[in-house]
Amino acid sequence: MQGTLLLGIDIGTSGCKIALFSEHGQLTCENTVAYPVYYPNPGYVEQNPEDWWEAVCRGTRALIETHHINPADILGIGVDGQGWAAVAVDSDGEVLTRNPIWMDTRSSAICEELNNTIGQKEIFDLAGNSLKPQYTTGKIRWYEQHMPDMYAKTDKILQSNSYIVYKMTDAMTQDYSQAYAVHCFDMKRGCWDSGMANALGINLELLPELAACHEIVGTVSAKAAESMGLIPGIPVVAGGLDAACGTLGAGVIHPGETQEQGGQAGGMSICTETYTAHPDLILGYHVVPGMWLLQGGTTGGGGVVRWFDEQFGFEEHQKAEATGTSALKLLDDSIAQIAPGSEGLTFLPYMAGERSPIWNDKAKGVFYGLDFSKTKAHMGRAALEGVAYALRHNIETAEAAGARVQTLKATGGAANSRVWTQMKADITGKPIEVAGSGMETTLGAAILAGVGVGIYKDFEDAVKKTIRVKKTYSPNESNRTVYDEGYQRYRTLYETLKPMMR
């Protein structure tokens, strides 16, 4: 008998994480099922939503069977997912095309035209977000213009988590934290705006009704239960954006508290109780009612480490296999031997263009300062410093908009790197708390389910019972000067190369 369990499901970019937690936030078991990313044309980055569902089913069954879980102990399910999806389904709920994910920029020309005809300021003033091709808005219009036959069959446009919720419950929903992806969402009033929808050319009937993230929107159907290895009738909440659930899973529920994201993508989410928008950042609703999240989202995060490991980590993997240790730990150890600032080697982490605050889908990754004295470890440290510089750039932009940034609460697998986390504290000048071991996002989804089914009285109660800080990193003042110089070099390097990034 396992007792009270909550199931969290995370539809990430590289794979689906599935985890079971006790009501006290203790991880019972977890696994990850990978799925492919497709790059059929320049600017096109796609995934198949059916791959997401297959991964959910396979991963959940594996947890149940491998760890001898009694499905009757699972009292609620929460799902989070990557943002800015455009899952087109017909009236039978069948997926009509692969989904352009958050890195996809195929709608650049469409967004430029909408900004010119409607006005950038008019769109921003209502939506609290600038219209960029990475958002869902342009993708819907791209379907209409380039796939008219498919578009004509579309009954609803779903987000990643709402598609999985639909597969489990047959309910088509739109949670508040993902609503910002479509620019006819009135950020101040919290509702769809028909006037802006008409101006954007978006049919509001394509967008499901809005639901609170912790609202129970259905229960696991008999068909889904059979596929997932569960029992029918388990309550399922609407869920939310992965960054917002990770923010909750880190314990960020009060103004000024900030989540630092260390998953495939990087960035930060600042909790605020007032409307605080900036045209170069991202504003959305928190999964916690009554709060907003002012976010900075970068393409460089854990994905940079994965790329570096795949391209340059052969030696570390050989040593890891021989010694029974981790290849990433060996890389961490080698990077720690290099002085802060990487002796002038600087990296721009724009490996898939860049989101906030520069919003340049043509931006490219760059190593600057290579010479015969530089080693692979120098390049590794510079890569991590580049991601941390991007974080600082976002934080400075948010503070210029009036947001308060106090302690950063680190989430994602990157939080397990003591070298990288200390580096981020030094570069941003902010203390960083680490509460868990990279499962904050799925924990946040599970907490939503716990609040929804009444295990927790409210979000204060949930955080008090589930979140425990394990380690704190304070900025090392002796590194301030070298990192200030490195940051200025980072900023100048992009501005100098920007004309070439077309």
Q: Which two structure tokens, joined as six digits, stand for 113?
A: 């035209």
- The larger pLDDT score, comparing residue 204 to residue 404, is at 204
Q: Which domain holds residue 414?
A: 302-434+470-500
Task: Report, as an integer, the average pLDDT of 286-291.
Answer: 97
User: What mean pLDDT comes out for the span 417-434?
Assistant: 95
Q: Are residues 343 and 201 in the same domain?
A: no
354 and 495 share a domain?
A: yes
CA dihedral 420, 422, 426, 429 (to 10 degrees): 110
Give the phi and the psi of residue 242 in degrees, each rounded to 5. Answer: -60, -45
* Residue 387 C-alpha from the chain's centroid: 15
Residue with tokens 């010694």: 323
- Average pLDDT for 475-501: 97
Asked if 343 and 481 sit in the same domain, the reply is: yes
Q: Structural domain tally of the chain?
A: 2
pLDDT computed for residue 224 by the predictor: 98
Q: For residue 268, tell me if it sits in a domain.
A: no
pLDDT (0 to 100) of residue 3: 72
Q: Which carries the bigger pLDDT value, residue 3 or residue 421? A: 421
DSSP 275-342: ----TTSEEEE-SSTT-EEEEEEES-SHHHHHHHHHHH-HHHHHHHHHHTS-HHHHHHHHHHTSPTTG
Let me know if residue 420 belongs to a domain: yes
- Mean pLDDT of the 231-239 span: 98
Q: How far is CA 361 from CA 21, 130, 137, in A?
A: 38, 14, 16
Query: Taking a C-beta distance cutoff of 8 angstroms, is the pair 446, 465 a contact?
Result: no
Please name the helix (run of DSSP H) or strand (run of DSSP E) that holds residue 386, with its range, or none: helix 376-400
**Residue 301, pLDDT above cutoff 90:** no
Q: Same domain for 90 and 165?
A: yes
**Torsion angles phi and psi, residue 475, rounded to 5:** -60, 135
In a domain, 276, yes or no: no
Same domain, 15 and 151: yes
C-beta separation of 432 from 408 below 8 A: yes
Q: Are residues 308 and 229 part of one domain?
A: no
Whether residues 77 and 222 fall in one domain: yes
pLDDT digit string (tens) for 90-124? Answer: 999 999 999 999 999 999 999 999 999 999 999 99
* 452 occurs within a structural domain: no
Look at residue 2 in the predicted model and tell me its pLDDT: 56
Position 439, amino acid: M
- For residues 227-245, average pLDDT: 97
| 241 and 307 co-located in one domain | no
Q: Give the residue from 187, 218, 250 where a domain finishes.
A: 250
Least confident of 87-101, 178-192, 397-411: 397-411
Q: What is the pLDDT of residue 1?
A: 37
Q: With beta carbons less than 8 A apart as the criterion, state whether 419 and 335 touch.
A: yes
10-27 pLDDT, tens digit per residue, is: 999 989 999 999 999 999
Over residues 304-357, the pLDDT tens digits come to 999 999 999 999 999 999 999 888 889 899 999 999 999 999 999 999 899 899
- Predicted local confidence at residue 438, as pLDDT: 72
The percentage of residues in the chain with a pLDDT greater than 90, rounded to a whole number, is 89
Neighbouring CB atoms inside 10 A of 26's CB total 11
Longest dimension (CA), the chain: 64
Q: Give a yes or no: residue 167 inside a domain.
A: yes
Does 231 share its domain with 377?
no
Predicted confidence (pLDDT) at residue 411 exceeds the cutoff of 90: no
Q: Please report the pLDDT score of residue 85 as a whole number.
A: 98
Does 408 fall in a domain?
yes
Section 383-400 average pLDDT: 96
Q: What is the pLDDT of residue 437?
A: 63
pTM (two decimals): 0.89
Q: Is residue 169 part of a domain?
A: yes
CATH of the domain at 427: 3.30.420.40
Tell me, yes or no, whether 246 and 323 share the same domain.
Answer: no
Higher pLDDT, 298 or 240: 240
Range in 51-60, 221-230, 283-292, 354-363 with the lowest mean pLDDT: 354-363
91/163 same-domain check: yes
Confidence at residue 453, expressed as pLDDT on a 0 to 100 scale: 98
Average pLDDT score over the chain: 95
Compute, in degrees rounded to 10, the torsion defined by CA atoms 165, 168, 171, 175.
-10
pLDDT at 412: 78
Q: Are residues 117 and 246 in the same domain?
A: yes
Of the residues 250, 284, 316, the one at which a domain ends:
250
What local confidence, expressed as pLDDT, does residue 156 receive?
98
In-domain check, residue 294: no
